[in-house]
Structure 1
Amino acid sequence: MLKKNTLLKLLYGLILASFTILQLNGQVAPSDKNATKEAKWLFENMYRLMDKGYLVGHQDDLAYGVHWKYEKGRSDVKDVTGDYPGLYGWELGNLELGREKNLDDVPFDKMRSYIQGAYAKGGVVTISWHANNPLTGKNAWDPAPGSVAAILPGGEKHDLYKTYLNRVAAFMHSLKGKKGEPIPLLWRPFHEHTGGWFWWGVKSCSDDEYKKLFRFSADYLRNEKGLHQLLIGYNTGSEFTDEATFLRRYPGDAYVDFISFDTYQHSKENIDSTFINIVDSRLRVLCDIAGKRHKIPAVGEIGFNQIPYEHWFTRVLAPVFKKHRFSYVLFWRNAGYKPYSQETEFFLPYKNHSSAADFYEFFKKPETLFEEEVIKAKLYQ
């Protein structure tokens, strides 16, 4: 016979589970009313998984590392921890031009294979798009005024922009699971728009133009191209300080599933209090907004190039992350040596790097979720 305390615990668990189900079946749902069942499951399960911790992701993790490129099954994260990231970031820049490789020299055929493999195991995929400027023909870092106005309906480059979207849509449609189902994607377009370095940023378009661009792009991909596997993110830089400034260019709840911001440590201080305060305060604002609007909060990009402080993960990031309930953090890519700039770039340690042991301690923390834990969470069912 069950003891009274055991019965009470079981009853409480059932009530809590029922409440969670009611909540998830109500206000907590993807913004796309026609989202695929896999996208719905992913959204709901990522929302629920925040109670356990946050996914740790890495950009281009399977394609290359500091001293290698395109070695099957290899990953700098796996070399250091024995496990893969829980989330994989990929970039579509140059796809809109019809090229075979993205702006970081990753072939789109290989990228498709990496995405399908990650999904088959239960991992999560997020995609960014540093699209070339349709007005000037230059790259994404060409903040020419009028660029966004030119591609909105009625603009001189509107048809060209739709061609860009058609190529993106074709690639996304090609991402299928083993049963032919569309792979859910965390789509992070027009990010860091609160800065002035991109053609969609604050120096190149008004807030209203940005909102129109965001809405048109989402509507076109969903309704014209039939992409209902997308969970769409509104991703700023770290320039905001409160709810009002974060939401200044927000396109509306009907277009957004997750909200995030990008930030990097640039100073060479080991314990940079300014950077820590930025991460802490921005996460606080983000998580508050997410709670009110039933969105998924995340850190869209983060890093400290070459990780000069060997305890950066456990003494800088881990303490501030532990204070907040958010879904994932994406560390930027391990590009290695870049001949054009003659510098080595990496944002996660590789094997035998001075910060590798610290990252392994970060990996062991119960709140950091890597691939094995993500697989157990069964996010797509």
Structure 2
Amino acid sequence: MTPWFTGLLTASSALSQPGLSNNTLASVRSRLLESSQASWELGTAAQALTEFSWPALSIYEKTAFPPPTHLSAALNASDVLDIAVKTVSKKPADSLPLIAGQGSAADPASIGVAVLLANWTRPDLSVTSFSKAASGQLEHLLHNTPRSAEGAISHRQDEVQLWADFIYMVPPFIAYFGALEGGYGAQALLQIAYDQCRLYRDALRDPSGLWRHIALGNWQDDSHWGTGNGWAAAGMLRVLETLNHSSEAHHFVGQQGNLTKWINEITAASWTYQKDNGTLYNVIDDPNSFPDTASTALLASVTYRMAAFTNDSSQIPAANKALKLVKKSIDSDGWLQDTTNPYTFHTPTEPGSHSPESQAFVLLLHSAHRAWIKFLSRK
């Protein structure tokens, strides 16, 4: 074996970490499907299932736009489309949001990409329910939701309040809508998706690069909540990849550069607080907080994806440590342990309880790690 090839193998080995077993992944997926109930849980599940089981349909592939108009037995996205079908079938006729009566204006939009995919791939072209549902959700966000003085669309419906979570729920949907639409309409929507990321960063980012969780409104959360930073980084990543793989990519070169910088700000700042065992804390920079595998998994997934996107492996050792921790933290039933309570933000998940979104984060992490290994094999 030649020395240069030996060196390449050694370098690749140092940058890789064994992934999760198929049996573990099957259990994680089952627990995800049985536990996801809230609007953002369903939307996050749909995205995770797309990346995990149907990567050719995900925005991380060159095949993303346009998706196939006819799905096959081998590429049917049945679990993703099932979420879209059930959501649209339950939506009241007079509701613009995909799920009515939510305090959050943003969370229902997280299911929007799945609904758009269902519309694009519907076998009966006379069916208009998916198109109308997605268009109604977009109209509600752009015209019926309050905004900050700077133009940031509110995460909440009853007042202007900005949550880091918004970035995963809304801009990826708006961007995907635009990428499917094409033409001038596409450029306008893709710019809106980017602008919302920019406006939220302006409002929530601190000098360290970490984002505060919640600003404005009648209460705030100034902590650098781990999952909030994960939502922000992962949401901007989805917008970045949508821009990159859309037919309008050449119009958004500068925006892609900014998003790349902004995502790396969050991941780089986060990993400086990583503990020796691989975990991040629930409040990333608070040593009095508690370990949280959920945000650790989500931020590691972003790190693997960004390494493949930028060909920069400098943060991979941190992601590998995180993956190793997550693997050890999944119990025999497929539940991720040691997560934050997603409904209280600042308490651990109680014994016997589980975090549905954390199950999705595990699948996102596996899918991103798989993509990273594939990227390494091509180098």
TM-score normalised according to structure 1 size: 0.28
Which structure would you say has the larger Rg?
Answer: 1
TM-score normalised according to structure 2 size: 0.28
Q: Greater RCO between the two (CA within 8 Å, min separation 6)?
A: 1
Of Structure 1 and Structure 2, the greater strand share is in 1
